[in-house]
Amino acid sequence: MRERRLRRDAIPRHVAVIMDGNGRWAQARGLSRAEGHHAGLESVRAVVRSAHELGIRILTLYAFSSENWSRPKAEVDAVMDLLDRYIDEEVDEVHRNGIQIRTMGQLADVPRRTRQKLDEAVARTAGNDQMVLCFAFSYGARQEIVDAARELAQQVEEGKLRASDIDEKLVSAHLYQPDLPDPDLLIRTGAETRVSNFLLWQIAYSELHFCDVMWPAFRKEDLVNAILDYQARERRFGLTSAQVRSGCPEDA
Ligand code: IPE
Ligand code: IPE
Ligand code: MG
Protein backbone atom coordinates (compact mmCIF):
# COMPACT_ATOMS: atom_id res chain seq x y z
CA MET A 1 0.00 0.00 0.00
CA ARG A 2 1.20 3.47 -0.79
CA GLU A 3 1.45 5.59 2.31
CA ARG A 4 1.94 8.98 0.75
CA ARG A 5 -1.17 10.68 -0.55
CA LEU A 6 -1.32 13.01 -3.48
CA ARG A 7 -1.72 16.62 -2.43
CA ARG A 8 -4.18 18.20 -4.85
CA ASP A 9 -2.97 21.69 -3.90
CA ALA A 10 0.60 20.92 -4.96
CA ILE A 11 0.20 19.45 -8.44
CA PRO A 12 3.11 20.54 -10.67
CA ARG A 13 1.91 23.17 -13.09
CA HIS A 14 4.09 22.08 -16.01
CA VAL A 15 5.09 18.44 -16.46
CA ALA A 16 7.44 17.45 -19.30
CA VAL A 17 7.94 13.82 -20.31
CA ILE A 18 10.69 12.06 -22.26
CA MET A 19 8.64 9.12 -23.54
CA ASP A 20 11.37 6.50 -23.88
CA GLY A 21 11.40 2.71 -24.13
CA ASN A 22 9.01 1.88 -26.98
CA GLY A 23 11.60 -0.18 -28.85
CA ARG A 24 12.78 -2.18 -25.85
CA TRP A 25 9.21 -2.80 -24.71
CA ALA A 26 8.42 -4.26 -28.14
CA GLN A 27 11.60 -6.28 -28.48
CA ALA A 28 11.03 -7.91 -25.08
CA ARG A 29 7.72 -9.17 -26.48
CA GLY A 30 9.05 -10.31 -29.83
CA LEU A 31 7.35 -7.38 -31.58
CA SER A 32 8.75 -4.88 -34.05
CA ARG A 33 9.91 -1.43 -32.94
CA ALA A 34 7.04 0.07 -34.94
CA GLU A 35 4.62 -1.97 -32.84
CA GLY A 36 6.30 -0.55 -29.77
CA HIS A 37 5.61 2.99 -31.00
CA HIS A 38 2.04 1.96 -31.71
CA ALA A 39 1.63 0.73 -28.15
CA GLY A 40 3.24 3.96 -26.96
CA LEU A 41 0.42 5.89 -28.58
CA GLU A 42 -2.01 4.28 -26.11
CA SER A 43 0.12 5.66 -23.29
CA VAL A 44 -0.05 9.13 -24.83
CA ARG A 45 -3.86 8.93 -24.87
CA ALA A 46 -3.96 7.65 -21.29
CA VAL A 47 -1.46 10.16 -19.92
CA VAL A 48 -3.12 13.15 -21.59
CA ARG A 49 -6.42 12.13 -19.97
CA SER A 50 -4.78 11.52 -16.60
CA ALA A 51 -2.87 14.81 -16.66
CA HIS A 52 -6.11 16.64 -17.38
CA GLU A 53 -7.91 14.82 -14.55
CA LEU A 54 -5.08 15.59 -12.13
CA GLY A 55 -5.16 19.29 -12.94
CA ILE A 56 -1.77 19.58 -14.63
CA ARG A 57 -1.89 22.81 -16.61
CA ILE A 58 0.85 22.13 -19.15
CA LEU A 59 2.02 18.77 -20.46
CA THR A 60 4.99 18.75 -22.83
CA LEU A 61 5.68 15.41 -24.50
CA TYR A 62 8.99 14.64 -26.21
CA ALA A 63 7.75 12.56 -29.12
CA PHE A 64 10.59 12.76 -31.66
CA SER A 65 14.03 14.33 -31.38
CA SER A 66 16.20 15.99 -34.03
CA GLU A 67 18.53 13.02 -33.61
CA ASN A 68 15.71 10.49 -34.17
CA TRP A 69 15.71 11.45 -37.88
CA SER A 70 18.83 9.26 -38.20
CA ARG A 71 16.88 6.08 -37.35
CA PRO A 72 15.93 3.61 -40.11
CA LYS A 73 13.47 5.19 -42.52
CA ALA A 74 10.77 2.57 -41.88
CA GLU A 75 10.81 3.44 -38.18
CA VAL A 76 10.72 7.18 -38.85
CA ASP A 77 7.78 6.67 -41.23
CA ALA A 78 5.98 4.62 -38.59
CA VAL A 79 6.33 7.44 -36.04
CA MET A 80 5.03 10.02 -38.55
CA ASP A 81 2.03 7.79 -39.32
CA LEU A 82 1.29 7.48 -35.63
CA LEU A 83 1.33 11.22 -35.14
CA ASP A 84 -1.16 11.51 -38.02
CA ARG A 85 -3.29 8.88 -36.38
CA TYR A 86 -3.17 10.54 -32.98
CA ILE A 87 -4.40 13.79 -34.49
CA ASP A 88 -7.13 12.09 -36.52
CA GLU A 89 -8.42 10.05 -33.60
CA GLU A 90 -7.86 12.25 -30.57
CA VAL A 91 -8.27 15.90 -31.46
CA ASP A 92 -12.07 15.83 -31.09
CA GLU A 93 -11.80 14.62 -27.50
CA VAL A 94 -8.85 16.85 -26.73
CA HIS A 95 -10.80 19.82 -28.05
CA ARG A 96 -13.95 18.85 -26.09
CA ASN A 97 -11.84 18.83 -22.94
CA GLY A 98 -10.66 22.37 -23.59
CA ILE A 99 -7.07 21.32 -24.25
CA GLN A 100 -4.87 23.53 -26.41
CA ILE A 101 -2.41 21.72 -28.68
CA ARG A 102 0.98 23.24 -29.40
CA THR A 103 4.17 22.05 -31.03
CA MET A 104 7.84 22.84 -30.66
CA GLY A 105 10.59 21.77 -33.03
CA GLN A 106 11.80 21.97 -36.61
CA LEU A 107 8.46 21.22 -38.22
CA ALA A 108 9.79 22.22 -41.63
CA ASP A 109 11.46 18.78 -41.73
CA VAL A 110 8.21 16.91 -41.05
CA PRO A 111 6.27 15.48 -44.06
CA ARG A 112 3.78 18.02 -45.38
CA ARG A 113 0.68 15.97 -44.59
CA THR A 114 1.67 15.55 -40.96
CA ARG A 115 2.63 19.21 -40.69
CA GLN A 116 -0.75 20.28 -42.07
CA LYS A 117 -2.58 18.07 -39.59
CA LEU A 118 -0.54 19.50 -36.75
CA ASP A 119 -1.14 23.06 -37.91
CA GLU A 120 -4.89 22.40 -38.15
CA ALA A 121 -4.99 20.88 -34.67
CA VAL A 122 -3.06 23.84 -33.25
CA ALA A 123 -5.37 26.35 -34.96
CA ARG A 124 -8.54 24.50 -33.98
CA THR A 125 -7.63 24.29 -30.29
CA ALA A 126 -5.93 27.68 -29.97
CA GLY A 127 -8.75 29.20 -27.93
CA ASN A 128 -8.83 26.42 -25.31
CA ASP A 129 -7.68 27.20 -21.79
CA GLN A 130 -8.02 24.06 -19.63
CA MET A 131 -4.62 22.58 -20.38
CA VAL A 132 -1.78 23.01 -22.85
CA LEU A 133 -0.57 19.85 -24.59
CA CYS A 134 2.73 20.60 -26.30
CA PHE A 135 4.36 18.05 -28.61
CA ALA A 136 8.12 18.39 -28.94
CA PHE A 137 8.52 16.94 -32.39
CA SER A 138 11.64 17.07 -34.52
CA TYR A 139 12.89 18.92 -31.47
CA GLY A 140 16.41 19.56 -30.23
CA ALA A 141 17.18 21.87 -27.34
CA ARG A 142 20.56 22.97 -28.67
CA GLN A 143 18.94 23.96 -31.96
CA GLU A 144 16.28 25.87 -30.03
CA ILE A 145 19.00 27.85 -28.23
CA VAL A 146 20.88 28.40 -31.50
CA ASP A 147 17.68 29.73 -33.09
CA ALA A 148 17.17 32.13 -30.18
CA ALA A 149 20.79 33.31 -30.44
CA ARG A 150 20.36 33.92 -34.17
CA GLU A 151 17.20 35.96 -33.68
CA LEU A 152 18.88 38.11 -31.05
CA ALA A 153 22.04 38.53 -33.15
CA GLN A 154 19.87 39.59 -36.08
CA GLN A 155 18.28 42.29 -33.94
CA VAL A 156 21.70 43.50 -32.82
CA GLU A 157 22.86 43.54 -36.45
CA GLU A 158 19.84 45.66 -37.39
CA GLY A 159 20.57 48.06 -34.55
CA LYS A 160 17.30 47.24 -32.74
CA LEU A 161 19.04 45.81 -29.71
CA ARG A 162 22.31 46.30 -27.83
CA ALA A 163 24.34 43.21 -26.92
CA SER A 164 24.36 44.41 -23.31
CA ASP A 165 20.53 44.30 -23.28
CA ILE A 166 20.58 40.52 -23.69
CA ASP A 167 19.72 38.83 -20.42
CA GLU A 168 18.10 35.56 -19.34
CA LYS A 169 14.61 36.94 -19.77
CA LEU A 170 15.29 37.98 -23.32
CA VAL A 171 16.80 34.61 -24.24
CA SER A 172 13.74 32.88 -22.72
CA ALA A 173 11.51 35.15 -24.76
CA HIS A 174 13.09 33.82 -27.98
CA LEU A 175 12.59 30.12 -27.29
CA TYR A 176 9.95 28.14 -29.21
CA GLN A 177 7.16 28.52 -26.59
CA PRO A 178 8.12 31.72 -24.79
CA ASP A 179 4.90 32.11 -22.82
CA LEU A 180 5.05 28.69 -21.16
CA PRO A 181 6.60 28.59 -17.69
CA ASP A 182 9.56 26.24 -17.17
CA PRO A 183 8.68 22.62 -16.33
CA ASP A 184 8.29 21.94 -12.62
CA LEU A 185 8.74 18.22 -13.14
CA LEU A 186 10.60 16.34 -15.87
CA ILE A 187 9.84 12.62 -16.13
CA ARG A 188 11.90 10.20 -18.20
CA THR A 189 10.58 6.68 -18.67
CA GLY A 190 12.55 3.74 -20.04
CA ALA A 191 15.23 3.34 -17.38
CA GLU A 192 17.74 5.83 -18.80
CA THR A 193 19.07 8.72 -16.73
CA ARG A 194 19.87 11.35 -19.34
CA VAL A 195 18.03 14.25 -20.91
CA SER A 196 18.87 13.57 -24.59
CA ASN A 197 18.78 17.18 -25.82
CA PHE A 198 15.38 18.02 -24.29
CA LEU A 199 14.55 21.51 -22.93
CA LEU A 200 18.11 22.18 -21.78
CA TRP A 201 17.45 25.83 -20.98
CA GLN A 202 14.03 25.36 -19.40
CA ILE A 203 14.92 22.52 -16.99
CA ALA A 204 17.55 24.52 -15.10
CA TYR A 205 15.50 24.15 -11.89
CA SER A 206 13.06 21.39 -12.76
CA GLU A 207 12.74 18.36 -10.50
CA LEU A 208 13.85 15.23 -12.37
CA HIS A 209 12.09 11.88 -12.04
CA PHE A 210 13.54 8.84 -13.79
CA CYS A 211 11.44 5.71 -13.89
CA ASP A 212 12.13 2.18 -15.09
CA VAL A 213 8.73 1.69 -16.72
CA MET A 214 8.92 1.51 -20.51
CA TRP A 215 6.72 4.15 -22.11
CA PRO A 216 4.10 1.72 -23.55
CA ALA A 217 3.45 0.45 -20.01
CA PHE A 218 3.26 3.91 -18.41
CA ARG A 219 -0.18 4.75 -16.99
CA LYS A 220 -1.88 7.08 -14.52
CA GLU A 221 -0.46 5.24 -11.50
CA ASP A 222 3.08 5.90 -12.75
CA LEU A 223 2.27 9.56 -13.32
CA VAL A 224 0.86 9.78 -9.80
CA ASN A 225 4.04 8.15 -8.45
CA ALA A 226 6.15 10.75 -10.23
CA ILE A 227 4.03 13.54 -8.73
CA LEU A 228 4.30 12.00 -5.26
CA ASP A 229 8.08 11.93 -5.70
CA TYR A 230 7.94 15.59 -6.78
CA GLN A 231 5.79 16.53 -3.79
CA ALA A 232 8.35 15.00 -1.43
CA ARG A 233 11.12 17.31 -2.74
CA GLU A 234 12.08 20.68 -1.39
CA ARG A 235 12.71 23.11 -4.24
CA ARG A 236 15.41 25.42 -2.97
CA PHE A 237 16.43 27.37 -6.10
CA GLY A 238 19.86 27.93 -4.57
CA LEU A 239 18.61 29.08 -1.17
CA THR A 240 19.05 27.32 2.15
CA SER A 241 16.34 25.06 3.49
CA ALA A 242 15.68 27.51 6.35
CA GLN A 243 15.15 30.33 3.89
CA VAL A 244 12.72 28.28 1.84
CA ARG A 245 10.71 27.26 4.90
CA SER A 246 10.47 30.78 6.25
CA GLY A 247 9.43 31.98 2.80
CA CYS A 248 11.81 34.90 3.10
CA PRO A 249 15.41 34.95 1.77
CA GLU A 250 16.46 37.60 4.34
CA ASP A 251 15.61 35.19 7.18
CA ALA A 252 18.67 33.05 6.55
C1 IPE B 1 11.05 6.46 -27.56
O2 IPE B 1 11.26 5.08 -27.58
C3 IPE B 1 10.28 6.94 -28.77
C4 IPE B 1 11.09 7.69 -29.75
C5 IPE B 1 12.31 8.06 -29.59
C6 IPE B 1 10.43 8.05 -31.01
P7 IPE B 1 12.52 4.45 -28.29
O8 IPE B 1 12.17 4.16 -29.70
O9 IPE B 1 13.72 5.30 -28.09
O10 IPE B 1 12.67 3.10 -27.49
P11 IPE B 1 14.02 2.43 -27.00
O12 IPE B 1 14.74 3.45 -26.17
O13 IPE B 1 14.78 2.03 -28.20
O14 IPE B 1 13.56 1.27 -26.18
C1 IPE C 1 14.75 10.61 -26.47
O2 IPE C 1 14.82 9.24 -26.59
C3 IPE C 1 13.83 11.16 -27.50
C4 IPE C 1 12.43 10.86 -27.31
C5 IPE C 1 11.90 10.16 -26.35
C6 IPE C 1 11.55 11.40 -28.30
P7 IPE C 1 16.01 8.52 -27.39
O8 IPE C 1 15.76 7.07 -27.31
O9 IPE C 1 16.12 9.10 -28.74
O10 IPE C 1 17.28 8.95 -26.54
P11 IPE C 1 18.71 8.27 -26.44
O12 IPE C 1 19.18 8.03 -27.83
O13 IPE C 1 18.54 7.00 -25.69
O14 IPE C 1 19.53 9.25 -25.68
MG1 MG D 1 15.12 5.38 -26.61
Q: What is the pLDDT of residue 106?
A: 97
Torsion of Cα atoms, 36 then 42 then 43 then 49, to 10°: 170
pLDDT in tens, 159-194: 999 999 999 999 999 999 999 999 999 999 999 999
Residue nearest to atom 8 of ligand 2 (CA): 20
- Tell me: pLDDT of 36 over 50: yes
Give the pLDDT score at 251. Answer: 63
Residues with CB under 6 A from ligand 2: 18-20, 62-65, 68, 192, 194, 196
Distance 115 CA to ligand 1 centre (A): 21
pTM value surpassing 0.95: yes
Superfamily name and number for 11-140+183-229 = Decaprenyl diphosphate synthase-like (3.40.1180.10)
Residues with CB under 5 A from ligand 3 (ion): 20
Ligand 2 atom at minimum distance from 64 CA: 6
Q: Which residues does the annotation mark as catalytic?
A: 20, 68
Q: What is the rounded distance in angstroms from the CA atom of residue 162 to the CA atom of residue 46?
A: 47
Average pLDDT, the chain: 96
pLDDT recorded at residue 2: 52
Ligand 2 atom, smallest distance to 62 CA: 6
User: Looking at residues 117-127, what average pLDDT do you find?
Assistant: 98
The ligand placed nearest to the CA atom of residue 24 is 1
| Proximal ligand: closest to the CA of 18 | 2
140 lines ligand 1 (CB under 6 A): no
pLDDT tens digits, 212-250: 999 999 999 999 999 999 999 999 999 999 999 999 777
- Beta bridge pairs of residue 186: 16, 208
User: Across residues 41-59, what is the average pLDDT?
Assistant: 98
Task: Report the pLDDT value the prediction gives residue 51, as an integer from 0 to 100.
Answer: 98
**185 close to 226: Cβ distance less than 8 angstroms:** yes
* DSSP bridge pairs for 135: 61, 103
> Which pLDDT band, with edges at 50, 70 and 90, does 3 fall under?
low
Ligand nearest to the CA of 196: 2
Q: How far apart are CA 156 and CA 163, in angstroms?
A: 6
Does ligand 1 come within 6 angstroms of the Cβ of 21? yes
pLDDT for the residue numbered 198: 99
Write out pLDDT tens, residues 10-24: 999 999 999 999 999
State the SS3 of the chain.
Answer: CCCCCCCHHHCCCEEEEECCCHHHHHHCCCCCHHHHHHHHHHHHHHHHHHHHHHCCCEEEEEEEEHHHHHCCHHHHHHHHHHHHHHHHHHHHHHHHCCEEEEEECCHHHCCHHHHHHHHHHHHHCCCCCCEEEEEEEEECHHHHHHHHHHHHHHHHHCCCCCHHHCCHHHHHCCCCCCCCCCCCEEEECCCCCCCCCCCCCCCCCCEEEECCCCHHHCCHHHHHHHHHHHHCCCCCCCCCHHHHHHCCHHHC
Given ligand 2 and candidates 19, 27, 68, which is best to mutate, with the most ligand atoms within 8 Å of its CB? Answer: 68
For residue 50, pLDDT beyond 70: yes
